[in-house]
Structure 1
Amino acid sequence: MRFVRVFLLLGIIFIQSIADSIIDTSSTSESPNQTPQIPIVNGFKKLYSLHADNFIFLESLSPTHSIDANQTQDNTILKNPTISNKPKILLIMDDIQNASQIRQIQSLPLKIIPSIFPKTKYNPKTPLIAQKNAFYMIHLPLEAQNFEQKELEPIKVGTSKDNIYTIIAQIKQDFPNLLYINNHTGSKFTQSEKDMLNLLSVFDELGLKFIDSVTTPHPASEKISHQQKRLIMQRDIFLDNEISTTHTKAQLKLAIQKAQKKGYIIAICHPHTSTFKALKQMSDELNHALEFVTPKELESYLSSQAITHYTRERFYANAQ
């Protein structure tokens, strides 16, 4: 009986060793045409390799709505998940209109807020783009002094409040999680106190907030903010009004300096190749010096500091 037990034990060990050798052989003797099988896990419209830096975008995957507020779309926990003592930066990237631009934003180790164009007959799929990002804004075309884009019909000076409501309500329906809107162009519209009062009133009715891109030296939002004692956040600096990596990096350094002086800053950039290059090259320096926040996080911070009027840094000599 004792001999039988020993024999069975030796048999089990022998079988296990054969199984191990089979596994080892299958993992090391792949044919030249065979693709290594790398373990993957589901991410936000991506599959992430556990053993490689590469990932595959899956456009057909349904969007997830369980992303933590302190988590990016690539499942990377942000370095500063809570409001810290660092100077705050809200970095908005305007003119977003396709999934490729969103992917480029998500490839950077920075919390960048895309501002997406509303749905138009020329580009009806922008609401789908918004689903790829936990944080986003809408880039609302408003009438400019000397600029027109036929693809983007702006809200014009003199538009009735009812018509403004119809336009914004449709945008809200297309983007149900929308909270913040900034203006695309608008140098004429945003100077008009009457029109801005109508626009802001509609925003209030629909639970939306306005961030002024400041495309004119005389934005009516400043006067309205004082009159109504309401916080209206404003752009401090354009990073890439000159399209070059060198200029954008210089503007980023200037933004750091101004944020350290004031405590917070709103910067706007655009999806240029040179801009992505500058942001990538300076990502470590930016994350070290500043805390990247969402519009809601910045608004909460300003409220905690009892700031009811946004103090805008003047960058006309350097950035406009």
Structure 2
Amino acid sequence: MLLQDARRGVSYQTVIIWALLLVVAVQGFLLCSRRPRTPVLPPVKQEEQKKVLPPPRGDVVGRIAVVLDDWGYNKGHCRQLEEMPIPVGVAILPNLPYSQDVLACSQKAGKEPMLHLPLEPHRVYEKYPEGYYLTTQMSDADIRSTLERMLREMPGIVGVNNHTGSKATEDPRVMKVVLGILKRRKLFFVDSVTTDRSVCSPVARELRMRISRRDVFLDNENSRGAIERQFASAVRIARKRGNALIIGHDRALTLQILKEQAEKLSKEGIEFIPVREYIRRYEDPGN
């Protein structure tokens, strides 16, 4: 009787052990079979996201120069200009109510004040006083005297780009007079490229003068999406070619996006440089 009870106890223990082993095996199988192929992570908080951003790159993959046009109508964006973390060419129209104020604030902000030179377009869309544009009907002497007066009235200007000018920049005579004056004064010139028939580059080669050309207009369409797309286009050019020159305008949205993009891209190997340095680096007076 005792022997039977002992055998029965051993039998029960064996059954229990095997049952436990079976349970463990089944649980292990279920656990393995239910594991997702790709782990599902919780949304990353902004603070956590900042921690995993790559560090600023030491190597430069492209350089960009920026010109902002049409300053002088007001001085409302001078504060944004002062807070801009990158070099910017500030192209100021002459003889407007706030031209001198913007000239002063651009110098205070350490930017590059430029004359936004009104040149004759094929079609006039804006109303300015008579004689405001340099035109193809002017004599060489009139062009010289008008341009010299504009430059005297804006002391401290370091460079020039054209406001409109689709007609004047197609005229070799006009541009030879204009560029000759700028070369003598050691002022740089940026062709805004308002016509695909511009003769600025060949005239500059004839004068052995370094000038540059606009690659991208940022804000022909004044919307965030359009400006960001144009900015992306400029960055592609800078990455592929090594450099790009972009032109925007004195607008709050343009200035805001420019600041955002500058802070972002400076961590990705894009360097923003002054316009004068850009021309010195990338423009050959013999080409």
Q: What is the CA–CA distance in structure 2 between the aligned matches of 1:229 and 1:150, rounded to whole Å?
A: 35
Whole-Å separation in 2 of the counterparts to 1:195 and 1:183? 13
CA distance in 2, matches of 1:204, 1:113: 18
Distance 1:281 1:210, change over 3 A: closer
Indicate which of 94, 99, 103 corresponds to 1:118: 94
1:95 to 59, 70, 76: 70
Corresponding letter in the other structure for 2:70: D
Question: How far did 1:185 drift?
Answer: 0.3
Tell me, in whole angstroms, the C-alpha distance in 2 between the residues paired with 1:110 and 1:242.
Answer: 23
User: How far did residue 148 of structure 1 move?
Assistant: 3.9
Deviations 1:56-103 (A, max 9, x none): xxxxxxxxxxxxxxxxxxxxxxx9xxxx84422111110011322222
Q: 1:249 to 1:281 in 2, by over 3 A?
A: same
Taking the aligned partners of 1:131 and 1:274, their CA distance within structure 2 comes to: 22
In structure 2, relative to structure 1, the CA distance for the partners of 1:259 and 1:223 (3 Å cut) is same
Closer/same/farther in 2, CA of residues 209 and 108 from structure 1, 3 Å limit: closer
- Unaligned residue ranges in structure 1 (runs of 5+): 1-78, 311-320
1:38-65 CA-partner distances (Å, limit 9, x unpaired): xxxxxxxxxxxxxxxxxxxxxxxxxxxx
Aligned residue among 131, 147, 150 for 2:104:
131
Name the SS of the counterpart of 2:266 in structure 1: helix
**Alignment map for 1:9-48 (pairs within 5 Å):** none
Task: Give aligned-pair identity as a percent.
Answer: 27
User: Which AA in structure 2 matches 1:102?
Assistant: C
1:291 to 271, 278, 287: 271
Q: 134, 141, 158: which one pairs with 2:118?
A: 141
Q: 1:271–1:176: structure 2 CA closer, same or farther, 3 Å change rule?
A: closer
**Do the aligned residues in 1 keep the contact of 2:92 with 2:116 (CA within 8 Å)?**
yes
Instruction: Specify the alignment match of 2:83 in structure 1.
Output: 107
1:260 corresponding residue in structure 2:
239
Between the aligned partners of 2:84 and 2:204, the Cα distance in structure 1 is 34
RMSD over aligned Cα atoms: 2.3
Which segment is superposed worse, 192-201 or 225-234? 225-234
Q: TM-score, normalised by structure 1?
A: 0.64
Alignment gaps of 5+ in structure 2? 1-55
CA distance in 2, matches of 1:268, 1:109: 17
State the Cα deviation string for residues 171-200 of structure 1 (Å, max 9, x = none).
222222112000000001101111111211
For residues 214 and 222 of structure 2, the distance between their equivalents in structure 1, rounded to whole angstroms, comes to 18
1:164/1:202 contact within 8 Å kept: no
Which residue of the other structure, out of 187, 211, 217, is the alignment partner of 2:190? 211
What CA deviation, in whole Å up to 9, does each residue of 1:157-182 have, x standing for no partner? 12122212222222222222112000
The 3-state SS of whatever aligns with 2:240 is: helix
Determine the structure 2 residue equivalent to 1:308. Answer: 285
Q: Larger RCO: Structure 1 or Structure 2 (Cα < 8 Å, ≥ 6 residues apart)?
A: 2
In structure 2, the residue corresponding to 1:199 is in which secondary structure? helix
Find the structure with the greater CA-based Rg: 2
1:14-47 per-residue CA deviation (whole Å, 9 max, x = no partner) reads xxxxxxxxxxxxxxxxxxxxxxxxxxxxxxxxxx
Kept after mapping to 2: 8 A contact 1:193/1:220: yes
CA contact (8 A) 1:190 1:220 kept: yes
For 1:127-159, what per-residue CA distance to the aligned partner results, in whole angstroms no more than 9, with x for missing partners? 232121232111111110112422362111121
**Distance in structure 1 (CA, Å) of the matches to 2:140 and 2:100:** 24
Contact 2:188/2:276 (<8 A) preserved: no
1:157 aligns with 2:136: yes
CA distance in 2, matches of 1:176, 1:195: 23
TM-score (norm 2): 0.71
Counterpart amino acid of residue 130 in structure 1:
L
Corresponding residue for residue 67 of structure 1: none
* Structure 2 residue identity aligned to 1:99: K
Q: Report the equivalent of 2:213.
A: 234
Name 1:184's counterpart in structure 2: 163
Alpha carbons 2:65, 2:244 under 8 Å: kept: yes
- 1:148/1:247 CA distance change after superposition, 3 Å: closer
Please tell me the residue identity of whatever aligns with 2:94: P
Secondary structure of 1:240's counterpart equals: coil
CA deviations 1:262-296 (Å, max 9, x no partner) are 11111000123332332243232222232111122
Number of aligned residue pairs: 223
